[in-house]
Amino acid sequence: MDLEDTLLMMPGPVPVAPRVLRAMSKPMINHRSAEFAGIYTDCREILSSVFQTKNNIFLLSGSGTAGMEAAVGSVAGSGDKVIAIENGKFGERFKDLAARYAEVVPLVFEWGLPIDLEMVKEKLEEGAKAITLVHNETSTGILNPASEIGKLAKKHDALFIMDGVTSLGGDDVKVDEWGVDIAIVGSQKCLAAPPGLAVVSVSEKAFEAMKSVSKKPYYNDLMAYKKSGDKPRPETPYTPAIPLFYALQEALHIVKEEGMEARIKRHRILSEAIRAAVAEMKIEMFPQLNEYSHYSNTISAMKAPEGIDGEDIKNDMKKRGVIIAGGQERLKSKIFRIGCMGNITARDVLSTIQQLEIVLN
Ligand code: PLP
């Protein structure tokens, strides 16, 4: 397979601009230096506008899951209750991961169904230290109601931990307005950098909550990130993945040049175009929505047409040079998913739709 000729239309990793790839080949630098501090600070500044937050931002060497683990493990320890909302694979991951550190109160909905806010409210009324939510559930293509969950969490004094792994950088995510205490994104999704970095924003309330946790993760202890990040010359606690920092900085400059407003609009228009095109092909969307849920603006999940295996659609698309995703675990074969993250263009979407039409006919 010619990698140069392959179009990645999956939910990450996504195509990376040549200037981002080139940035990774720069010489190594001392990670305890003014040069590194400059890169870290630049990234954090641009990320503040992506996250729409004044909260502290940290860059962790590790994928999105490392950020999720850092978030839950830093604020919740044994005996602390964490409500874990699940309506897809990544909600399930948050639940499983939280169970390693805290006492999990699962709130499980069928994958692909919207969240029932009344049930969230009832669980919160019983008391919890934190609640986890996947904003953009990549496995099902649902955009979950983050602002509503934020309001409920605030009312019941629970920390709101939000996986924004596939929404931040591509969709409108208002960390401060929604009251998100910890938000997480992975570098390889809508930010269009290579995989390997997790970005985490942390509120003062979350730092306060960390003080009472005795057994936090060692490598991904967010308090340690704060201590290093607060230095006059900011740094990370341990040796960071320097080439990935170079790449993310360059990717963030692309984000800044486009402007977040335009970037969000592009993701929305292109995802709408995918939905309109598949509707023309009489393909049904997979997620079921309620008044608080929406179709994702970065990933579209469709039901495989009657008598066709979703995996075959994915494999046939691959033969034609377009990498899309199938369903995960229990959704395998039943659905197929087309990502629209990062720097995807109208031409990329048109080529994908064109190939899909051929594959399905
Ligand atoms: N959360 C969501 C919503 C995701 O889509 C993913 C990956 O696809 C993750 C978390 C996990 O991220 P990573 O694979 O970078 O650890």
Ligand 1: centre distance to CA 10 (Å):
12
Percent of the chain with pLDDT over 70: 100
First-last CA distance in the chain: 24
| pLDDT tens per residue across span 163-182 | 999 999 999 999 999 999 99
Q: Considering the entire predicted model, what is its pTM? A: 0.98
DSSP 299-330: EEEEEPPTT--HHHHHHHHHHTTEE-EE--GG
Ligand 1: centre distance to CA 65 (Å):
6
| pLDDT tens per residue across span 302-342 | 999 999 999 999 999 999 999 999 999 999 999 999 999 99
Which residues does 62 contact at the CB level (< 8 Å), separation at least 6? Answer: 196, 197, 198, 220
73 Cβ closer than 6 Å to some ligand 1 atom = no
Cis peptide before 13 (omega within 30 of 0): yes
107 Cβ closer than 6 Å to some ligand 1 atom = no
Q: Which atom of ligand 1 is nearest to the CA of 138?
A: 5
| Strand 130-134 relative to strand 182-186, pairing | unpaired
The whole-number pLDDT of residue 288 equals 96
Please tell me the total number of residues recorded for the chain in this structure: 361
65 Cβ closer than 6 Å to some ligand 1 atom = yes
229 Cβ closer than 6 Å to some ligand 1 atom = no
Ligand 1: centre distance to CA 108 (Å):
19
Ligand 1: centre distance to CA 67 (Å):
10
- Probe target for ligand 1 pocket from 69, 90, 92, with the most ligand atoms within 8 Å of CB: 90
The whole-number pLDDT of residue 258 equals 98
Ligand 1: centre distance to CA 197 (Å):
11
> CA 313 to CA 308: how far, in whole Å?
8
In this structure, which residue's CA is closest to atom 2 in ligand 1?
165
DSSP 85-122: EESSHHHHHHHHHHHTTSEEEEEE--TTSPP-HHHHHH
Q: Which atom of ligand 1 is nearest to the CA of 67?
A: 16
Ligand 1: centre distance to CA 165 (Å):
6
90 Cβ closer than 6 Å to some ligand 1 atom = yes
Is a pLDDT exceeding 80 seen at residue 1? no
Is a pLDDT exceeding 80 seen at residue 2? no
AA identity, residue 67:
G
Buried b (16+ CB within 10 A) or exposed e, 142-163: bbbbbebbbbbbeebebbbbbb
Average pLDDT over the chain, rounded to whole?
A: 97
Ligand 1: centre distance to CA 146 (Å):
17
| pLDDT tens per residue across span 124-139 | 999 999 999 999 999 9
86 Cβ closer than 6 Å to some ligand 1 atom = no
Is a pLDDT exceeding 80 seen at residue 39? yes
Is the separation of the CB atoms in 138 and 164 below 8 Å?
no
> CA 315 to CA 310: how far, in whole Å?
9
Structure-model confidence comparison of residues 3 and 28, the more confident one: 28
| Strand 142-143 relative to strand 136-137, pairing | antiparallel
Is a pLDDT exceeding 70 seen at residue 231? yes
Whose structure tokens read 């397979």? 1
The whole-number pLDDT of residue 311 equals 98
**ipTM confidence:** 0.99
Write phi, then psi, for 229 (nearest 5 degrees).
-75, -25
> CA 248 to CA 191: how far, in whole Å?
8
In this structure, which residue's CA is closest to atom 12 in ligand 1?
64
